[in-house]
C-alpha cells in the first residue's frame, strides 16, 4: 500500500506534505478547481490545493508557527479586504459546507472576480462596502466567530477595532495582518507593530503576535480574542467591618424603636 503524501497539520483544517515544507487545504469543490493556478494534489481519495505562503499572509502566519488561527470547520468568518479572493478561497476550504464567510471589499475592479468565485463556492458571499463604516452593512453580516483583516490603509487598526466591536462574538478570534509601510513609511516597523498592539490591547486580549518575514516583509500578524464583559462583583467584607456594620444596624434599629422625647409646652 502506498504511503500517503499529505498529512494533517497541527493547525485545524490545514494539511502538509510528509516533509512539512508545503501547506494544503482539502478542496471543498468536487471535482477540485484551480482558481489561481495553484497545484492540485490527489491523495487518499481527496483533492488538496497547494497554498503558497508568499501569496497569502494567513499561510505565511501558519508557516511562521502560529499556535491557532481560530478557523474551524463550521466557522462563520468576516473577511475584510477579500480582493480577488485568493486567501478567502482557502478559508472557504477550511470552514467547509457547514461554515460561511462574508467577503468584503470596496474596489469595483476586484469585485467582479470575487463574485464569480463566490458563485462557485456556496459558503462565500461577496459584499461591496467600505470597511471604515460597518454600520452600512450591519444588515448584511451576522455575528461571526472570526474576523480576518488584510487592508493596507493608514488607519487599519481602527478599521479592525470597529468591525470586531460590531460583529465578533464573545470568545471569538480576530486576526489583523499589519502592513507597517501603509501606516508610516518613515517609522521603524517594529515600533509601529508595538503601537498597534498597544492600541488593540486596550480593548481586546492579545493572544499572539509575530512577524511574517521572509514571506512578507514589514508585516506582522496580531491575533486577539474578544473577552466577555466583566461583571461587577461585590467586595467581600472583612470580619471586623462585618461586625461594625452589624452593630451599626442594631443601633439604628433600636434608635428607630424609641419614641421621640416630648418637649413640655411653655406657659404663657
Residue with cell 470552514: 95
The per-residue pLDDT for 161 is: 98
- Which CATH code for domain 52-225? 3.40.50.150
Instruction: Give 3-state DSSP helix, strand, coil % of the chain, rounded to 5.
Output: 30, 25, 45
- Give CA–CA dist 98/100, Å, rounded: 7
- Give CA–CA dist 181/161, Å, rounded: 20
The per-residue pLDDT for 19 is: 73
Which ranges constitute the DSSP H helices of the chain?
Answer: 57-63, 86-95, 108-120, 156-167, 180-183, 189-201, 239-257
**What's the pTM value of the predicted model, to 2 decimals?**
0.83
The per-residue pLDDT for 1 is: 38
Low-confidence ranges of the chain (pLDDT < 70): 1-4, 20, 230-268
The per-residue pLDDT for 182 is: 96
Supply 160's cell numbers.
479592525
- Give CA–CA dist 90/4, Å, rounded: 22
- Chain centroid, CA 236 distance in Å: 36
The per-residue pLDDT for 243 is: 61
Q: Of 95, 66, 59, 101, which is closest to residue 82 (Cα–Cα)?
A: 101
Per-domain residue ranges of the chain: 52-225
The per-residue pLDDT for 228 is: 79
Q: Does residue 244 sit in helix, strand or coil?
A: helix
Q: 39 phi and psi, to 5 degrees?
A: -80, 140
The per-residue pLDDT for 241 is: 60
Amino acid at each position: 500500500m502506498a504511503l500517503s503524501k499529505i498529512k494533517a497539520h497541527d493547525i485545524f483544517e490545514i494539511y502538509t506534505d510528509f516533509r512539512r515544507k508545503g501547506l494544503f487545504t482539502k478542496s471543498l469543490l468536487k471535482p477540485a478547481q484551480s482558481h489561481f493556478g495553484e497545484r492540485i494534489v490527489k491523495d487518499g481519495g481527496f483533492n488538496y490545493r497547494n497554498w503558497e505562503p508568499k501569496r497569502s499572509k494567513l499561510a505565511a502566519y501558519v508557516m511562521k508557527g502560529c499556535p491557532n488561527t481560530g478557523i474551524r470547520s463550521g466557522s462563520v468568518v468576516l473577511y475584510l479586504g477579500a480582493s480577488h479572493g485568493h486567501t478567502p478561497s482557502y478559508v472557504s476550504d477550511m470552514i467547509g459546507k457547514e461554515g460561511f464567510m462574508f467577503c468584503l471589499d470596496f474596489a469595483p475592479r476586484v469585485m467582479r472576480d470575487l463574485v464569480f468565485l463566490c458563485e462557485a463556492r456556496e459558503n462565500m458571499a461577496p459584499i461591496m462596502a467600505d470597511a471604515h463604516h460597518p454600520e452600512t452593512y450591519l444588515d448584511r453580516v451576522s455575528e461571526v466567530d472570526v474576523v480576518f483583516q488584510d487592508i493596507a490603509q493608514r488607519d487599519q487598526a481602527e478599521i479592525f477595532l470597529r468591525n470586531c466591536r460590531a460583529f465578533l462574538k464573545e470568545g471569538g478570534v480576530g486576526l489583523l495582518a499589519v502592513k507597517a509601510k501603509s501606516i508610516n513609511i518613515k517609522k521603524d516597523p517594529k515600533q509601529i507593530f508595538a503601537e498597534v498592539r498597544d492600541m488593540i490591547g486596550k480593548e481586546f486580549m492579545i493572544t499572539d503576535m509575530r512577524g511574517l518575514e521572509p514571506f512578507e516583509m514589514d508585516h506582522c500578524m496580531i491575533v486577539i480574542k474578544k473577552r466577555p464583559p466583566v461583571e461587577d462583583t461585590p467586595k467581600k467584607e472583612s470580619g471586623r467591618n462585618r461586625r461594625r456594620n452589624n452593630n451599626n444596624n442594631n443601633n439604628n434599629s433600636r434608635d428607630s424603636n424609641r419614641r421621640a422625647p416630648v418637649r413640655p409646652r411653655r406657659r404663657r
